[in-house]
Amino acid sequence: METPAFIKSLVHDGQLLASAAEEAGPDAAVPTCPAWQVRNLLRHTGMVHRWATGFVAEGHTGYRAGAGEPDLDGDELLEWFREGHGLLVRALSEAPPDLSCWSFLPAPSPLHFWARRQAHETAVHRADAQSAAGGGPGHVAAEFAVDGVDELLSAFHARPKSRVRSETPRVLRARATDTGDVWTVRLSAQPPHTVRTDDGPADCELSGTAERLYLTLWNRLPLEAVSVTGDTGLARLWREQSGITWSR
C-alpha cells in the first residue's frame, strides 16, 4: 500500500473510532482490552496520535517521549481525541515525501512508516471502540489486513523485545484464504523470524480471511474466529505472548 492509502484509512478509522466511543460512552467496558473503559481507549489512542504528530510535524530525528495521557473525560475527552486525530492527518498529508525523522520499524521512508503505523494503530483501536459499542470489531479491507499482518509478523515481532519465544524450535503459519498470502513464522529462543512463503511443514497453522487473520493475530478476535490445525498449544502461545503494549 502507498502512503496516501494509509492516510485515507487513518481518516476513516479515526472517525469511526470517535463515533463508536461516543455511542458507547466513557464508562463502557472494552471487551477486547479487558482492563480498559472507553475513556482509557480514547486517552491512549489520542496520546499516541499526538506523539506521532510531533515526529512528523517537527522532524525530530531522535526518540522523544510523549506528553502522557490527559486527565480529561466525557465530551471534553472526545473533542480532544478528534482534535489530535485531525492534527495527525494534517501533519501526514502536508509532510514532504523526503521527510527525515525518527521511526522504529523498517519502511521505505519515515513518512511511509508513520502513515502505516498510525493507520494500523487506529484501525485496531477502532475495532476496540466498536466492540465496546456492542457492534463487534467492524470491517477491515483485505489489502489493508494483509499489510497489517505483515507489519505485525515481519516487523514488530522481528524486534528483540518480542516475547514470542520457544526453547524448542517451532513453526507457526498464517494463511489468508481469500488473498492467498502466507506467512511462515519460525520460533526459537531468539526473536521470531518470518518469511512470506509456504516454507516447509508447520507445527500449527492459522487460516482464514485476511480480515479475520488480522483481527485474530492482533488479539481482537478469539482463536475460534480462524481455523487452527496442528498444535493448538502453539496458537495459545501466540495469544498469550504476542500482545503489543505501549512502553515508550
* pLDDT tens sequence across 123-140: 999 999 999 999 899 999
pLDDT of residue 32: 95
Give ranges for CATH 1.20.120 in the chain: 3-132
Query: What would you measure as the largest C-alpha separation in the chain, in angstroms?
Result: 53
Contact 187, 198 (CB under 8 A): no
Report helix angle 110-132 to 74-94, nearest 10: 150
Domain 3-132 has CATH 1.20.120: yes
Give ranges for CATH 3.30.1050.10 in the chain: 142-241
pLDDT of residue 124: 98
Q: Is 190 left (phi over 0), alpha (psi -120 to 50) or beta?
A: beta
124: part of which helix (H) or strand (E)? Answer: helix 110-132
Contact 84, 46 (CB under 8 A): yes
Gap between the Cα atoms of 218 and 204, Å rounded:
17
User: What does the pLDDT average to over 139-164?
Assistant: 97
Q: State the residue for C-alpha cell 477502532.
A: 126
Report pLDDT digits (tens) over 180-226: 999 999 999 999 999 999 989 999 999 999 999 999 999 999 999 99
pLDDT category at 247 given cuts 50, 70, 90 is: low
pTM (two decimals): 0.96
Tell whether the model's pLDDT for residue 248 goes beyond 60. no
Average pLDDT, the chain: 96
227: part of which helix (H) or strand (E)? Answer: strand 227-230
**Nearest residue to 41 (alpha-carbon basis) of 149, 124, 117, 141:** 124
Give the type of residue at 121: E
Gap between the Cα atoms of 96 and 94, Å rounded:
7
User: What does the pLDDT average to over 36-46?
Assistant: 98
First to last CA, the chain: 27
CATH number for domain 142-241, candidates 1.10.3720.10, 2.40.110.10, 3.90.220.20, 3.30.1050.10: 3.30.1050.10
